[in-house]
Structure 1
Amino acid sequence: MTSKRVCILGGSGFVGQHLVARLGNKGISSRVITRHPQRHRQLKVIPGTELVKSNIFDRAALSHQFQGCDAVINLIGILNETTGQGFHRLHVELVDVVVEACRSAGIKRLLHMSALNASEANGSSHYLRSKGEGESWAHTRGGGFAAVTSFRPSVIFGPGDSFFNRFAGLLERAPLLFPLACAESRFAPVYVGDVVEAFSQALDDSRTFGNHYDLCGPRSFSLGELVSYTAQTIGKRRILMELGDSAARLQARVMEKLPGKPFTMDNYLSLQSDSVCDENGLEQLGIEPTDIEAVVPLYLAHQRQRDRLYQFRQPRG
């Protein structure tokens, strides 16, 4: 069966917007479930895209929205807990609701976004344990009536990301000395275009049914190397001060109390596990991984131009 319409939870987020565009280019329509359709009207320029407001924890409401769709894609996840939006609620309880709504609506195909190192038993942080539990739930419960495939990416980069863009913003505002926790933690950054291509290719490929795919870029780097690369790319001379373990823990305990929780103890615990692949699912799917140097300089330069233009247009006091 060739999918013609999919329902996407998290379709208005970073990965979701890229996925909706990729599917639209292939002639696949997307029904995007979102709390605030008015904030994401730009997605409606993609042919066949429908924005629907719905309570994602209401099984009956979700089942109704899943009607007429050939597949469901769950991209919802958070890196930090906020009031009412905890890891267990969004990564585990929501998966239960989605699976039951799929069962009720007769959905036979479910794609699920997990995370590299996700493990209910061995995850180094609450985030990774909850991601692992949700992934297991999707396969064990959903696999009883639907073909389930899950994807476990390393940190995802691309236009609009919250990794390179975030560090670029911090480096722009930082003094010469830039303190960095867990500088030796390793990542294999994976391009968002490759991630959504993996979803797109797997959608109707029966060879992917029941599989879990780790997704990584072609090279691994320490966090310190990635931050230094970002500074060099935006033309900022900064000296990295690598924090020891005690100082890193202290930084996490202080920063998790700040607005937006820029760095938390759970983030610190996640960083104790290197985010690299033993076997790259992109290569298994026939996708050549994209290197950071092919993409990152382009969108960081574009973002800096936009920021300068915005500052220029602001009224002077």
Structure 2
Amino acid sequence: MAVQLNNQALVTIYGGSGFLGRHVVRAIARTGARMRIAVRRPELAGHLQPLGSVGQINPVQANVRFPDSLIAAAEGADAVINLVGILFPTGKQSFKSVQDEGARHVAEVAKASGARSLVHVSAIAPTPIRRPSMGAARRRARRRRPCFPRAVILRPSVVFGPEDDFFNRFAALARLSPVLPLIGGGRTKFQPVFVGDVARSVVAALTGLASADKPYELGGPEILTMRDVMERVLDYSMRERPLMPWPFWLAKLQAAFLQWLPTPPLTVDQVRLLQSDNVVSDAAIKAGRTLHGLGIEPVPVASVVPDYLEQFRPRGQFSVYKP
């Protein structure tokens, strides 16, 4: 159900302080709507305040693993957005507790609070794999929609932007490593989508431009293989590094050790996800369940990424980049 976003509307955003969250908050702030940003550590969400006017953005405490903590944040909300997700499990923050059960808790609270709209941001699913993983948890999250039948589900491909953990990560690696690994030979396909376009799609979903029948798949204007991504990273960061094919079995073996680090650069689940392409399906394109279907012209990688990868160039901002 559509929500009229103005200064009378209240939107609750679970997980609104992260990379995607700050762009969603900025996009909604422009409409004048008030927001509750429900996060585990509201004292660390102060960076969101400058994105809106005085009193427009209110961080509150909530944890999707504890349903009772979600109730107050959703009380009186016209719309609810769930952006909560993790890249790898840490402690009690498992894929099951956060992206499976957590998504169900948010949907149940949104329904109980009387919210007219629920938008859940997931990800384009990989091919099913043997053991439960990040992709499996996301698929289970989508099966929670009966808790809120009118929920709109958005499934972006890899999201890029100034604070991303994709192009930035590989550029940082290129600055330190003498070679860049191509996991699986670099054949995995991605359709990188600009974070600002994903944020605009969330606003479009809130205002009734999206249907709740089936998920929307969000991708940028071009499909890139992992090799293409690495080559662009080297070009934009003005580095020269050889690209070394890295078979999946070897990457999994390496990740099995790396994932025990406090902030692992690679996990077994992430390697498994690389075994499937991450692009918008033909079915979604045919049905118009894409950015174009929401009236959004996707921003290409070359329009944004070179600017924020300048920090990784040999002379930083003083390096002269020529496309």
- Report the TM-score, using the length of structure 2 for normalisation: 0.87
- Per-residue deviation, 1:304: 4.2
Change (3 A) 1:67 1:246: closer
Paired residue for 1:179?
Answer: 181
Report whether the alignment pairs 1:226 with 2:234: no
- Distance (whole Å) between structure 1 residues aligned to residue 99 and residue 12 of structure 2: 18
Q: Deviations over 1:156-182 (max 9, x none)?
A: 00010010111111111112x222313
Report the CA distance between 1:123 and its aligned residue: 5.3
* Aligned counterpart, 2:321: none
Identity of aligned residues (%): 33
1:308 deviates by 6.2
1:61 and 2:69 aligned: yes
Tell me what 2:148 maps to. Answer: 142
- 1:107-118 correspondence runs (5 A): 107-117=115-125
Separation in structure 1 between the aligned mates of residue 262 and residue 95 of structure 2, nearest angstrom: 18
Task: Return the match for 1:70 from 78, 83, 89.
Answer: 78
Is the partner of 2:262 in helix, strand or coil? coil
Partner residue, 1:96: 104
Name the structure 2 match of 1:131: 138
Unpaired runs of 5+ residues, structure 2, are 318-323
Offset of 1:185 from its aligned partner?
0.8
Aligned to 1:31: 36
State yes or no: 1:288 paired with 2:291. no
Amino acid at match of 2:196: G
Structural mapping, 1:194-205, within 5 Å: 194-205=197-208
Q: Report if aligned partners of 2:174, 2:234 keep a CA contact under 8 Å in 1.
A: yes
Q: Secondary structure at the match of 1:31?
A: strand
**Matched residue, 1:44:** 49
Q: Identify the residue that residue 313 of structure 1 maps to in structure 2.
A: none
RMSD: 2.0
Deviations 1:130-158 (A, max 9, x none): 10111111x22211xxx210011100000
**2:22 corresponding residue in structure 1:** 17
Deviations 1:92-117 (A, max 9, x none): 11122112212221122110011101
Give the stretch that moved more between structures: 257-266 or 193-202: 257-266
More off after superposition, 209-218 vs 158-167: 209-218
- Bigger Cα displacement from structure 2, 206-215 vs 73-82: 206-215
Query: Runs of at least 4 residues of structure 1 off by over 4 A?
Result: none
* Structure 1 unpaired stretches of 5+: 310-317
- The answer to whether the Cα contact below 8 Å between 2:157 and 2:219 also exists between their aligned partners in 1 is yes
TM-score of the two chains, using structure 1 as the length reference: 0.89
Q: Matches of residues 293-304 of structure 1 in structure 2 within 5 Å?
A: 293-301=302-310, 303-304=311-312
Please give the secondary structure, in 2, of the residue aligned with 1:8: strand
1:5 maps to 2:14: no
Match of 1:312 in 2: none
Give the one of 257, 261, 264 matched to 2:264.
261
Distance 1:257 1:61 in 2: 30
CA distance in 2, matches of 1:142, 1:123: 27
Whole-angstrom CA distance in 1 between matches of 2:129 and 2:205: 26
Where does residue 247 of structure 2 map in the other structure?
Answer: 244
